[in-house]
Amino acid sequence: MGTEHTHESIWSDLRGTQFSQGWLDAGGISTRYLHSGSSEKQALLLLHGVGGHAEAYVRNLKAHSAEFSTWAIDMIGHGWTDKADHGLEIHHYVDHLVRFMDAAGIDKAHFSGESLGGWVASRFAIDHPDRIDRLVLNTAGGSQADPQVMERLKTLSMRAATDPTWDFIQARVEWLMADKSSVNDDLIACRQAIYRQPGMAQAMKHNMVLQEMEVRQRNILRADDYGRIQAPTLVLWTSHDPTADVSEGRRIASMIPGALFTVMNNCGHWPQFEDATTFNRIHLDFLNGREVDGAIPVAA
């Protein structure tokens, strides 16, 4: 008998999922998306981290599409969406989201953001409270400025974009995971294709401006900002997040009125990918207004 071989890929993650890939003209920005679920259901927007792309959520589309009109998009400057010709600060991402929602005919949506996506979703909730229902901040950025983390992220990302060899891309993706074996070849190949696009090295410089201290300080979210979030919020952290420990997630939750806080164990910066079963359960319970097992309120 031969040795059994299991091949994991983005396609195996999407097996059995009815979805579409497309591009929308979002106010002049060609924006790539993955969409699953009936457009008659409540909209849910899933936002990736810096240097990322919609495939961050391939293991979540099927579960969420049963209950929501689920969109995973490539934010401006990322993935297969149009690149920017300037440094991207948080208000640029928020403006892009408004344009995308208008183009897609979405009046109001749930938002779930990981890392940079959480930073953007937080700012969106502050600036556009009438267009957001519930908010999930998944190992979210924007609350602190750690020079070592910023330099590490910038170095890995720029190296991968300027010299998108397999090993550099693999190192960048493995940085996201607690269990490095969670990274499969197809995920590396997908990101490599994105990073090999003409102009991507320059685009990555624009994506990385938030890792520069002066720029970061004028975009950072402070207690007064978090205190303005009106949407019901879940802050989800992990035991092995490479950007900040659990105490930072708890601190974020403490600044948001009525926020819930929960921790996923044995995961890094992509819990929605590393442990999709647990993430999907927690996520769907919160978005549907059900009790979230293990989540606790943190006094603001």
Alpha-carbon gap, residue 60 to 283, rounded angstroms? 10
Chain segment 282-300, per-residue pLDDT in tens: 999 999 999 998 899 986 5
Q: What is the mean pLDDT of the chain?
A: 95
pLDDT of residue 60: 98
pLDDT of residue 3: 59
Distance of CA 231 to the CA centre of its chain: 18
Of 34, 35, 121, 114, nearest to 79 by C-alpha is 34
Average pLDDT over residues 239-245: 95
pLDDT of residue 2: 55
Alpha-carbon gap, residue 92 to 116, rounded angstroms? 12
Sequence ranges of the domains in the chain = 24-297
pLDDT of residue 261: 98
Chain segment 267-281, per-residue pLDDT in tens: 999 999 999 999 999
Report the CATH fold assignment for 24-297. Rossmann fold (3.40.50)
pLDDT of residue 6: 65
pLDDT of residue 55: 97
Alpha-carbon gap, residue 126 to 45, rounded angstroms? 16
Chain segment 116-147, per-residue pLDDT in tens: 999 999 999 999 999 999 999 999 999 999 99
Chain segment 158-177, per-residue pLDDT in tens: 999 999 999 999 999 999 99
pLDDT of residue 1: 52
